[in-house]
Amino acid sequence: MIMDETTRYRRALGTYATGVAVVTIAAEPNESDVVALGMTINSFVSVSLEPRLILWCVDDASERGRLFAEAEVFAINIVRDDQRELADRCARRQSYRLTADDVQHGLTDDAPPEIRGALARLSCRVHERRQMGDHLVIVGEVIDFHAHDGDGLTYFRGQYNRIQSL
């Protein structure tokens, strides 16, 4: 099979195992039982300890990307191995609407919704947005965080995998 340059590049990038996270933002209040929107990402990076900064990227071509790009607060939810279905659902188009069964509210009224039972959660407010190529880079200032014990979910060569806690 002959691959085009873009496919070959994507395959090369896929050899780098990443953690799996779901970004959550509050849904518009007029959506019936939908309380949050989620987007699965693997473009999550810790930037700085002081101040606490992280970044993630959203594809310009994403049909829901504008909603996430415009949100002033968001949560990065690092998912557990047994949350593959949720991560997969939030990776697909039209499957990113989350209900109260999926999320819980943050500690304050202005905190973003959090995935129930996530391995870790970082509540953030936007620090900076920067366009780079075909993605918007969103830098968030971490305003609250929490981590739990458990096994993590990774993504490698187009497949979910499990990483065991020591």
DSSP 3-state assignment of 86? helix
Write out the chain's pLDDT in tens, 166 residues. Answer: 788 999 999 889 889 989 999 999 998 776 567 889 999 998 999 999 999 999 999 999 988 889 999 999 999 999 999 999 999 999 987 778 998 899 987 656 678 999 999 999 999 999 999 999 999 999 999 999 999 999 999 999 988 999 887 7
Which two three-digit tokens encode residue 84?
Answer: 């593959």
CATH number at residue 110: 2.30.110.10
| Assigned domain for 11 exists | no
Sign of CA dihedral 47, 13, 164, 116: positive
Considering its fold, how many domains does the chain have in total?
Answer: 1
| Assigned domain for 37 exists | yes
The predicted structure's pLDDT at residue 109: 66
Residue 113 lies in domain? 16-163
DSSP string, 36-69: EEEEEES--EEEETTTTEEEEEEETT-TTHHHHH
Beta bridge partners of 21: 41, 78
The predicted structure's pLDDT at residue 107: 58
